Amino acid sequence: MTPPLLELRHVCKAFGKVVIADGINLTLNENEGLGIIGPNGAGKSTLFNLITGDLSPNGGDILISGKSVLSQRPHQRCRSGVGRSYQIPHPFGKMSVFENVLTAATFGGAAAMGEAEAMSLEILGVTGLLNDVNTPAGKLTLLKRKRLELARALSTRPRLLLLDEIAGGLTEAEVQALISTIRDIRRSGVSLIWIEHIVHALLATVDRLVVLNGGMFLADGDPHEVMRAPDVQRIYMGVEPA
């Protein structure tokens, strides 16, 4: 039987007394799209940092395609197929958009230069940045910075793409354009975990939704059903039961 693409087994993480993960289990299969929501500070970004190796768990195991990656450094996990965007984009501000994507393709994705150049241009097309190839990344608008963040993650050729709040701060029209881009990416066979407060963007793109709260998943299942669950309405949206 094919192992899941990603598996978290009893993962624990705390910063002092702040418990982020209290024995979390999570499975993501190939081609699956998962959304993560939860109150501010619940530990959603920290969960990504544990998956990518930016942080180490205090306990438990993290497996990619059935193999533990705990001993792998972040760049090694990236080359194993885990690509991510960061909540706050930090592009190389003085380098052009093209150079930023090329750097991610060659360093993160270990692509040879000729291949990386062609792939970077293709990804800049997919992410709507072709008119900005020569623009210094530091001069981009918020929307385009977020698109560059997505382009940099894609150029590492991920099998698993982790997106951290890339819709925040965008207009509704920009969110709709982003939804369409994410659907195209999913159709290309990339598996997705998307942390997002803009819930309708998740409902339009993912198969499953989990709610992180108090170090554990409060709910895990069909996105619409999860959003209707009374506990989720109470904790995430502040709706008191009738």
Ligand X SMILES: Nc1ncnc2c1ncn2[C@@H]1O[C@H](COP(=O)(O)OP(=O)(O)OP(=O)(O)O)[C@@H](O)[C@H]1O
Residue 18 found at the interface with ligand X (CB under 6 A): yes
What are the E-state strand segments in the chain? Answer: 6-15, 18-28, 33-37, 59-64, 67-68, 82-84, 160-164, 191-195, 208-213, 216-221
Q: How far is the CB of 58 from ligand X (least distance, A)?
A: 13
Q: How far is the CB of 44 from ligand X (least distance, A)?
A: 4
Binding segment (CB under 6 A) for ligand X, from list 14-22, 117-125, 183-191, 217-225: 14-22
Nearer to ligand X (CB atom), residue 45 or residue 100: 45
Within a 10 A sphere around the Cβ of 186, how many other Cβ atoms?
18
Q: How far is the CB of 241 from ligand X (least distance, A)?
A: 24
Q: Phi/psi of residue 74, each to 5°?
A: -55, -40
Q: How far is the CB of 41 from ligand X (least distance, A)?
A: 4
Binding segment (CB under 6 A) for ligand X, from list 13-21, 107-115, 146-154, 225-233: 13-21
Count of chain residues binding ligand X (CB under 6 A):
12
x-or-dash pattern for ligand X, window 24-53, by CB under 6 A? --------------x-xxxxxxx-------
Name the token pair of 26: 């999570």
Q: How far is the CB of 52 from ligand X (least distance, A)?
A: 13
Of 186, 32, 159, 9, the closest CA to residue 84 belongs to 159
Instruction: Give all strands of the β-sheet with 160-164 in edge-to-edge order.
Output: 82-84, 160-164, 191-195, 33-37, 208-213, 216-221
Residues making contact with ligand X (CB under 6 A): 15, 18, 20, 38, 40-46, 87
